[in-house]
C-alpha cells in the first residue's frame, strides 16, 4: 500500500497541480473540492497526510482541520495559507497541524513538507510500538523474541492478511494490536470481532453490514465492521468458529477487497489489513474451508505457550504484581523463593491469562510484602493434581506408599528444595520428612 495524501482545495487548478506532483513522487492521492466533501471522505478513508487550504468555499479550513484531527488523531495535516496570513497559520499549528505552506507555493517545497510529515509519523509509530511493547508484551525468552521480530517485519510491509496461531491465553489480541500499532495501519482504526461470541445468524451482518429491510429487524442501514476498519486493521479472533456462509463471503473479500452489504446490490471496496487468530489447526477443523485457510495462512505468526518461555513466567508475574500492588494499594514487592519455584514449575495450561488471574488472586490474599505458596493455592492445587492416580511403567495403579512418596517429593520441589519449608507445609517434622525421603521407593 502506497502512502496516501488527501488534497482539500476548492480551486481545481491547484488540486490538479498538487495531484500530479504528489503522484509523481509516488503517493496515492485523494481529492476533495470542499470541506464537507473532505469530511465525508474521511468517514471511509484514513489518509496518511492531508493538505488543507484554510480558505474553502463552504467551511472554514480551521474547522475542517479540527474535525479531521478529531476523527484521525494521528493525521499529519499541512495547511495552505494565503500570503501573509500568519495568524491563521499559527492557529492551525495550535490545532495540531504539522506544517504550513504559503501561496504561491513551490511544488518541491510541498513534496518536502509531505515527506517530513510522513517520516515523523513513522518515527512516532515506532516510539508507540516500543512503549506499547514494554507496557503490555513483557518477555526476554528467545522464543518470544523470535515471534516479535516477525511481527516487526510484517508490520513494516503492506501484508494484507496475517494469521496468528497460539494456545488460549498466549496474548494473540495484544500481538494483533502491536502489529497494528507498528504499521501504517495505525493511522486507521483497530476493529475487533470475536467470531465465537456472535450468534451464527448475525455474523454476516456484523462483518459486512446490511441495508434497510434486508431482514425483519433491519430497520435502518448498518455499516459492517469491514467498512469501519477502512484504512486500519480488522482483527478476527477465534476465526475457526466463523460460520460457513460468512467464510465464503470473507474469502471473496480477501481475494477482491470488495463486498456487498446484506440485502444490497452496490459493490463496496475497502482497504484494510485483516489479522485472524485461532488456537486450532484450521486445516484439520471440520467445517472450515480449506481454501480460506490457505488464504489466511500466507503469513503466519506462531506465539509460544508460556511453558516454553522460561523465566518469562517470573518477568510477567512481577509485572502483574506491580500492577495489582498499585490497584489494591498493598506494599507487595515480590515473591518468596518457594513461590517463584512454584511459578516456574507450573505448566500454565491457561498461559498468560491464567498467570495474571493467579497473581491477582494472590495479591488480594497476601498481607505482607511477599507472595508465598499459600497465596497461590489454586496454582499449588493444580500442580499436584496429577498425583492422584500415578500408574507405574506397567500401567498398574501404584500403592498408597508410592503415592505419598511422590506427593512429598513434589512438595519439596515446589518449595524450591527447601526441606524445612516443605515439612512446614506438610505439617510434619523435618526428621519425619528426612526419613520419608531416605526410604527406598516402594515397589
pLDDT tens for 195-210 read: 988 888 889 999 999 8
Report the 3 state secondary structure along 222-286. Answer: ECCHHHHCCCCEEEEECHHHCCHHHHHHHHHHHHHCEECCECCCCCEECCCEEEEEECCCHHHCC
Is it the case that residue 378 has pLDDT exceeding 70?
A: no
* Residues 36/43, Cβ–Cβ less than 8 Å: no
Written out in words, the top-level CATH class of the domain with range 137-304 is: alpha beta
Cell of 41: 471522505
Element (H, E) at 163: strand 161-165
Give 429's pLDDT tier (boundaries 50, 70, 90): confident
**Alpha-carbon span 355 to 169, nearest angstrom:** 9
Give the residue from 50, 28, 24 showing the smallest Cα distance to 38.
50
The mean per-residue pLDDT over the stretch 273-293 comes to 94
Give 402's pLDDT tier (boundaries 50, 70, 90): low
Q: Which of 192-201, 337-346, 379-388 is least confident?
A: 379-388
Is there a common fold for 137-304 and 308-438? Answer: no
Report the 3 state secondary structure along 313-378. Answer: HHHHHHHHHHHHHHHHCCCCCEECHHHHHHHHHCCCCCHHHHHHHHHHHHHHHCCCCEECHHHHHH
The CB-side HSE value for 438 (13 A sphere, CA atoms) comes to: 6
Determine the pLDDT at residue 383: 53
Is it the case that residue 388 has pLDDT exceeding 70?
A: no
The mean per-residue pLDDT over the stretch 248-272 comes to 93
Give 128's pLDDT tier (boundaries 50, 70, 90): low
**Alpha-carbon span 299 to 176, nearest angstrom:** 13
427 compared with 357, residue with greater pLDDT: 357
pLDDT tens for 30-55 read: 999 999 999 988 877 888 899 999 88
**Residue ranges per structural domain of the chain:** 4-124, 137-304, 308-438
Fold of the domain spanning 308-438? Helicase, Ruva Protein; domain 3 (1.10.8)
**Alpha-carbon span 259 to 405, nearest angstrom:** 64
Determine the pLDDT at residue 175: 94
- For residue 278, list its beta bridge partners: 165
pLDDT tens for 164-186 read: 999 999 999 999 999 998 888 88
In CATH, 4-124 is 3.40.50.2300: yes
**Alpha-carbon span 73 to 50, nearest angstrom:** 12
**Alpha-carbon span 253 to 268, nearest angstrom:** 10
Amino acid at each position: 500500500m502506497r502512502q496516501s495524501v488527501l488534497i482539500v482545495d476548492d480551486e481545481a487548478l491547484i488540486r490538479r497541480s498538487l495531484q500530479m506532483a504528489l503522484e509523481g513522487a509516488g503517493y496515492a492521492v485523494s481529492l476533495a473540492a470542499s470541506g464537507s466533501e473532505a469530511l465525508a471522505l474521511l468517514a471511509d478513508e484514513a489518509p496518511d497526510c492531508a493538505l488543507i487550504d484554510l480558505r474553502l468555499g463552504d467551511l472554514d479550513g480551521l474547522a475542517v482541520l479540527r474535525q479531521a484531527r478529531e476523527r484521525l488523531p494521528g493525521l499529519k495535516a499541512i495547511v495552505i495559507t494565503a500570503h501573509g496570513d500568519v495568524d491563521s497559520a499559527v492557529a492551525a499549528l495550535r490545532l495540531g497541524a504539522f506544517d504550513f505552506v504559503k501561496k504561491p507555493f513551490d511544488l518541491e517545497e510541498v513534496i518536502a513538507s509531505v515527506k517530513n510529515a510522513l517520516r515523523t509519523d513513522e518515527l512516532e509509530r515506532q516510539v508507540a510500538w516500543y512503549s506499547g511493547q514494554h507496557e503490555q508484551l513483557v518477555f526476554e525468552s528467545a522464543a518470544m523474541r523470535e515471534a516479535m521480530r516477525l511481527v516487526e517485519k510484517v508490520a513494516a510491509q503492506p501484508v494484507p492478511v496475517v494469521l496468528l496461531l497460539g494456545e488460549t491465553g498466549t496474548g494473540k489480541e495484544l500481538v494483533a494490536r502491536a502489529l497494528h500499532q507498528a504499521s501504517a495501519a495505525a493511522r486507521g482504526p483497530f476493529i475487533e470481532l470475536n467470531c465465537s461470541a456472535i450468534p451464527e445468524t448475525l455474523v454476516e451482518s456484523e462483518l459486512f453490514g446490511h441495508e434497510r429491510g434486508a431482514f425483519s429487524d433491519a430497520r435502518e442501514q448498518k455499516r459492517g465492521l469491514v467498512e469501519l476498519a477502512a484504512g486500519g486493521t480488522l482483527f478476527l479472533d477465534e476465526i475457526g468458529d466463523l460460520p460457513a456462509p460468512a467464510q465464503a463471503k470473507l474469502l471473496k473479500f480477501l481475494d477482491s477487497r470488495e463486498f456487498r452489504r446484506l440485502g444490497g446490490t452496490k459493490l463496496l471496496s475497502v482497504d484494510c489489513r485483516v489479522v485472524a487468530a485461532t488456537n486450532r489447526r484450521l486445516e484439520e477443523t471440520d467445517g472450515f474451508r480449506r481454501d480460506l485457510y490457505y488464504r489466511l495462512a500466507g503469513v503466519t505468526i506462531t506465539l509460544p505457550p508460556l511453558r516454553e518461555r522460561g523465566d518469562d513466567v517470573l518477568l510477567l508475574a512481577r509485572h502483574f504484581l506491580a500492577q495489582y500492588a498499585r490497584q489494591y494499594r498493598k506494599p507487595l514487592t515480590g515473591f518468596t523463593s518457594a513461590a517463584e519455584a512454584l511459578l516456574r514449575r507450573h505448566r500454565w495450561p491457561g498461559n498468560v491469562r491464567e498467570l495474571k488471574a493467579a497473581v491477582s488472586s494472590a495479591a488480594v490474599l497476601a498481607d505482607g510484602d511477599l507472595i508465598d505458596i499459600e497465596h497461590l493455592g489454586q496454582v499449588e492445587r493444580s500442580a499436584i493434581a496429577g498425583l492422584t492416580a500415578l500408574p507405574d511403567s506397567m500401567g498398574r495403579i501404584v500403592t498408597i506408599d508410592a503415592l505419598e512418596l511422590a506427593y512429598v517429593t513434589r512438595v519439596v520441589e515446589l518449595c524450591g528444595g527447601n526441606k524445612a519449608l516443605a515439612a512446614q507445609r506438610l505439617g510434619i517434622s523435618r526428621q519425619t520428612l528426612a526419613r520419608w525421603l531416605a526410604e527406598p521407593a516402594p515397589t
